[in-house]
Chain A
Amino acid sequence: MKLNTRYLGFELDTPLVPSASPFTRDIDQVKRLEDAGAPLIVMHSLFEEEILHEDAELEHHLSHGSESYSESLSYFPDHPEFKQSCDLYLEQLRAIKETVSVPVVASLNGVTTGGWVEKASLLEANGADALELNIYHVPTDPAVSSTAVEDLYVDILRAIKGRVSIPVAVKLGPFFSALPSFAARLEREGADGLVLFNRFYQPDIDLETLEVIPGLNLSTSAEVRLPLRWIAVLSPICKKVSFAASSGIHTAEDVLKVIMAGADVAMMTSALLKFGPEHLAKVRQQMVEWMEEFEYESISQMKGSMCLETVLDPKAFVRSNYMKMLNDYVYKPGS
């Protein structure tokens, strides 16, 4: 069975890729991912906040209260060197590169064109084979238009592309009013891949403490429908970029569906966090079994076979799909 696919220019043995996750903080786990068949490693993100704020925080606490009182002119020993978040990330990148033979994608997460974009070239210099640019922007200012938001993404992409020669994938959230137009613009600006979608962490309210609390739940297979639809819509439009489906990839069926919609790879996190890195091998086996049963020969055969261009009823991916769902809905007491 030919499971090979091509993503960001890399020939991969399988389209099943572990996405950015805490696994890559631990070299042993990375090794387990590779052993389980990961054709590519996407590292956890290096956050703009880590680069900018954590280091400032360190400086603040090291100097806070110092040189104020004769007996306690400082409160901490003077270390000659602190490893900044970026240094630690680069160290981990190098360690992963030494450990695995598959391509390694470093991940940068931020929302401004500030100093952090400088780090892209360091990632490249330290062995990253590609970059995943995770732009996690929640617009809250009514004075900022949707065009301005899109401009910000493009500015960041340009800034990064101007600094590296390795492929750059952009990981997006789903909340754009004109995703096809925007995706095409990113393609024009040099994005080598689109990762759909970023799972925006949805904060919650604690009714007891009246505090907003961060909510982080693992995804479910149901969530795959969002990238499924948009990859089906976008893959025929942006033919020069690779597509990665992210969010809700749990089973072999999920993988097969997004490939059919046009994805080059399917990225999995929640299931791996739940079942461990070895789950990759299991899903891969189930994919093979399914493809054998339904007499598919290869991934390339099915890739894009059900995108907006190729599907029998394109409307099913758009508005009529909505009507169909409502019409089919039957209220069942207790459900």
Chain B
Amino acid sequence: MQRKMVTIDGNEAAAYVAHQTNEVIAIYPITPSSPMGEHSDAWSAMGQKNIWGTVPTVVEMQSEGGASGAVHGALQTGALTTTFTASQGLLLMIPNMYKIAGELTSTVFHVSARTIATHALSIFGDHSDVMATRSTGFALLASNSVQEVMDFALIAQAATLRSRIPFLHFFDGFRTSHEVMKVEQLTRNDMKAMLDDQLIAEHRKRGLNPNHPVLRGTAQNPDAFFQSRETVNPYYLAAPDIVQQVMDQFAEQVGRAYHLFDYVGAPDADRVIVLMGSGAEAVHETVDYLNTSGEKVGVLKVRLYRPFSVKHFLGALPDTVQKIAVLDRTKEPGAVGEPLYQDVVAAIREGHQQEEIPFTANPVVVGGRYGLSSKEFTPGMIKGIFDELTKASPKNHFTIGINDDVTHSSLEYDPDFSTPEDKVFRGMFFGLGADGTVGANKNSIKIIGSETDNYAQGYFVYDSKKSGSMTTSHLRFGKEKIRSTYLIRNANFVACHNFEFLKTVDVLGYAVPGGTFLLNSPYSAEEVWDHLPRHVQKHILDKKLAFYNINALKVAKETGMGVRINTIMQTCFFAISGILPREEAIDKIKQAIRKTYGKKGEEIVQKNFNAVDQTLAHLQKVTPPDILTGIELGSSLIPEEAPDFVKNVTARLIAGKGDEVPVSAFPVDGTFPVGTTKYEKRNIAAEIPVWDASICIQCNKCALVCPHAVIRPKVYEESHLKNAPDTFKYVKAKGKEYTETEMYSLQVAAEDCTGCALCVDICPVKDKTNVSRRAINMEPQLPLREQERKNWDFFLTLPEIDRNRVKQETPRGSQLLEPLFEFSGACSGCGETPYVKLATQLFGDRMVVANATGCSSIYGGNLPTTPWTKNAEGRGPSWSNSLFEDNAEFGLGFRLTIDKQKEYAEELLRSLREEVGTELADAILNADQSTEPGIFEQRERVEQLNTILDTLSSTEARYLRSISDNLVKKSVWIMGGDGWAYDIGFGGLDHVLASGRDVNILVLDTEVYSNTGGQASKATPIGAVAKFAFSGKPLGKKDLGQIAMSYGNVYVAKVAMGASDAQTVRAFMEAEAYPGPSIIIAYSHCIAHGINMTYGLQQQKLAVDSGQWILYRYNPLLKQAGKNPFKLDSKAPKVPITDYLYRENRFKMLTKSMPDRARELADRAQRFVDEQYQYYKYLADRKLTPAE
């Protein structure tokens, strides 16, 4: 039977089968598995049916814990049910997995295996999550490639029904889940043939049903539990054979044969590597090559890891094997070895005991770790392992792919070794996140995959920043099946889509001699050579590269494509690479354009067609002169005065050379220095704000809203200007609080700015002679870069103002305080970071921050650098991220420590009163720390105390010295997004609010799961389209503020900086000052709203003006003073809700996809906001009678 070939990624392959073979799907977003749920949700929303003719129900839950509970319930009532998850999500499912397995319930969980957070979070792939489920009773089935993902998704579904054992079907996160591959698509007939109706009927029959009631989920006692637990044994014993039978049936139906353990290699191999997952394909490829050069090696691919069949395992190995290396993509500290290693050792030992061992010699078995967190696993490393196995005593418990210079576990290997690549086209494309390179490459793979008999593979690497990020596309095409599950190192086609990358990335280091280089440059073919850095010129000449140049931005502008150069560069690729005849390629590109953009409008299609046609006229081959004319670039931009750690580690991570950093260079416990973003001068803004001192009113609003803390005002004595650079700008400080000799400067960090222009949009000043000009205006960065670098460096030498002279509670005053959160990797124009930065300005020197996983933990804590920093005294926020779900509890823990140790410190101080000095002790014990001067005085007293304590030798004095810091007030901040606060972390947040403890909770409410790509949360408003809200969210946003207010003793504020900066700053001050739990819910415009981020603050204002977002403050202290604690800071809605909604794509797109529903939801939204305002007005107007 002819099946369709499709070019898809692993997630889509899994979801394709899962959606068609289930009735209920309960999901929760988590990288890298989210797309499986998103596909399923979209398919169901579009009415796509499963193989039994009904549309599966897809439901998003509040957490993976919730999803697994819903799955368990749906299974217990007889529905065919599935879910998708990874990493921490899988951990949250474990309790239900034990239940589901204990009850012998058929289901398949599809898992894109991802690292579990330990010393750090990682979104990338390894098996640490899957390995944590080993004892749940789930069968564990590993897919190694996209084709296998599709095949095994079905095999697992069939096997679970037949065996009654639930299956966890897993594949490597990113490497397989996100790798785009040409695969054969299973048909609905295949699925029907594999899934037995009778078994499905039995599954349903086992469901709870009042028509034949049963009791399941009892509590059992010592007399019964043990025996009951052993009843399942026959099912586990039978399972391996059942899986093999299913695999055999699959082979008959589809033609691809699999086994529980698949051996590949020399039949008489002496050395074998045992492993599972995508790495097995790289080993397969390497084994094939090594055997052609006379070696005798093999690989055993483990498919069914649980239940582990010793019989099948031993039967699959060649009897000649003498050395076995078992590779685990996980780490189990303290264990004898990693899990697969232990199983292999035990299996061979068992074989010996049962005298079933097939081997001619007793093989040596060693274990090793590889590929943690998607660390590359290459033929060079694989050969290194086989080489190690040739030694008489190969190293055990080794690592491969890193340099472990501490415990010396790592094996040596030749990084330059590669399998023959001449039959495979290897292309690398360096693009800017925003330019569409990845999308175009995905299209190219689809074109080549579908239009030629080539196998095709695409893999995409993104960097750790959300703004100005670089993407690298790795594309392989060839006549033979591609098993290279590692990045391209030797490319015969290198395309650099952004000229600036030539200065920071050695793109041509990847080019092979005689290869092709395509460059998008702002120059003509005649001009471009002299603008290339010298090392690039050298590569071109040394490697004799065919060099093509195009000014793609010019073509894009001329054809109305803006900055999207994707179509243009894709056309160049096809024109040069010759993979398809040029005319045919152009035709196929146009077909792909129609497919991609057709639904978005004929005009866009035509624009792209035009760009394709114009491209060929502008693409030029460059004939390089035989001389090097380019400038030599410096090796590192890190300044000499940077700390050693930054120079030795951070700098290498920034330079993309992190793989070379040895173990010894890293901290042992995940603790990193702060204040490192300042060393990463990214220069990503094409335009930067430039201050016009002559009309500035010194309101500092620009500094307040700047998401990246790149605009800073300072007031200082004129005398400090002695060494000012010529272009440094200053004026007399305005305001009666300043003296005649005090100056004001507003300086921009040109190299750190992302060019969002929020500052210009918020500037209230308009030039009276030309209203298009503000007191701050955008101008090209490049001509100003050098000058402003000097100005910025000088600006940093100016003293900070005395904090006590500043009206901190005002927007203007707050901005004269030093921000201790700067230059984050957040999106350009981010709506969250101004709030975070404000908190650090007001309280940074005494803050401890618990940060929920999400955008804020990524831009706050993703290596290589962190924006959290410290002041000249060395004080600043101390920050940590625990998990997504537990952040409120985590932060409460901070408070508990501080409170307890303060209490203990006071007890100790009382007992040491005489030794310390009664006056000092009493002053400390009775200090008023309700204001900042009070805190500063206490800090000085505690420093005096410490000096005295250092001279005392008593145990009590030593104890007190270790905790005396807690005598000074600390400010505990618990931060995170709405996904955390409204959904997954709500239970904990609610409990912390009820604790009465003095914590400050900042909810950065973007109304959607921004970090994982825009899934709906309970904060998502009516009518917004999001993933998992395909048809627009039908229900209103949860009123978190109202829930918090219901406790009566919680300070609650709802703020939107763009609507009222004064209210925002006041709310922060009040929340922090309130001696109990406080929560600030902050409207954060977001890229996931589908807005022009430059106008994010205008959207905030419209949200308030339309009544969508109500500003208020609820201060329990007012109640104690006999006043109404609720203060409404919003006026009555003055514009219709649609004025706000339809300026955002999240709402507007529904008018294009489902116009009638959009109208209905807009009406509903209007009613919602009208009622909401009435309610809050009532709260504000009511007269409270003090209780007796």
Contact = CB atoms under 8 A, between A and B. Distances in A.
B1090 A83 contact: no
Contact of A80 (B466, B599, B1012): B599
Contacts of A70: 31-32, 123, 174, 462
A75 B560 CA distance: 24
A58 interface: yes
Contacts of A275: none
A59 interface: yes
A59 B604 CA distance: 8
B1032 to A, nearest CB: 11
Interface in B14-30: none
Nearest to A82: B1152
B436 A67 contact: yes
Interface in A26-77: 51-52, 55-77
Which residue, of B433, B606, B1145, has the highest number of chain A Cβ atoms within 10 A? B1145
Interface in B913-940: none
B816 to A, nearest CB: 27
B599 A56 contact: no
Contacts of A58: 600-601, 1145, 1148-1149, 1152
A210 interface: yes
A81 interface: yes
Contact of B42 (A60, A72, A78, A115): A78
A77 B766 contact: no
Contacts of A75: 1010, 1013-1014, 1087-1088, 1090
B1026 A61 contact: no
A72 B1009 CA distance: 10
A319 interface: no
Interface in B1110-1139: none
B46 A73 contact: no
Nearest to B608: A59
Interface string B476-497: 0000000000000000000000
Given A70-B31, A82-B1153, A62 B1090 contact: yes
A63 B600 CA distance: 11
B439 interface: yes
Nearest to A72: B1013
A77 B601 contact: no
A65 B1014 CA distance: 11
Contacts of A67: 433, 436-439, 460, 462, 471
Contacts of A213: none
Contacts of B1148: 58
A99 interface: no
Contacts of A115: 602-603, 606
B1146 interface: yes
A192 B1090 CA distance: 43
A245 B436 CA distance: 51
Contact of B1030 (A55, A61, A74, A77): A77
Interface in A267-300: none
A310 interface: no
Contacts of B1087: 64-65, 75
A76 B1155 contact: no
B406 interface: no
A8 B1169 CA distance: 47
A79 interface: yes
A88 interface: yes
A181 interface: no
B182 interface: no
A59 B1012 contact: no
Contacts of B1149: 58, 61-62, 76, 79, 82
B1145 A83 contact: no
A212 B150 CA distance: 58
A146 interface: no
A52 B564 CA distance: 17
A308 B798 CA distance: 80
Interface in B764-787: 766, 771
A84 B1151 CA distance: 9
Interface in B1021-1036: 1025-1028, 1030
A65 B1145 CA distance: 13
A78 B1153 CA distance: 11
Contact of B1013 (A59, A63, A73, A210): A73
B1145 A61 contact: yes
Interface string B590-622: 000000010111111011000000000000000
B438 A81 contact: no
Contacts of B436: 63, 67
A76 B1027 contact: yes
B683 interface: no
Contacts of B136: none
A322 B1019 CA distance: 64
Given A51-B603, A58-B600, A84 B1088 contact: no
Nearest to B1009: A72
Please indicate which of the listed interface residues B471, B606, B1152 has the most CB atoms of chain A within 10 Å of its own CB. B1152
A112 to B, nearest CB: 12
Given A79-B42, A82-B600, 5 more contacts: A55-B603, A59-B601, A65-B1088, A70-B462, A73-B35
11 contacts: A58-B1145, A67-B433, A70-B123, A74-B1013, A75-B1010, A76-B1027, A76-B1145, A77-B1030, A78-B42, A81-B599, A210-B771
Q: Lowest 10 A-B CB distances belong to which pairs? A: A68-B433, A55-B601, A61-B1145, A72-B1013, A61-B1090, A67-B438, A75-B1014, A82-B1152, A75-B1088, A65-B1087
Interface of B: 31-32, 35, 38, 41-42, 45-46, 123, 174, 433-434, 436-439, 460, 462, 465-466, 469, 471, 560, 562, 564, 597, 599-604, 606-607, 766, 771, 827, 858, 1010-1014, 1025-1028, 1030, 1087-1088, 1090-1091, 1145-1146, 1148-1149, 1152-1153, 1155
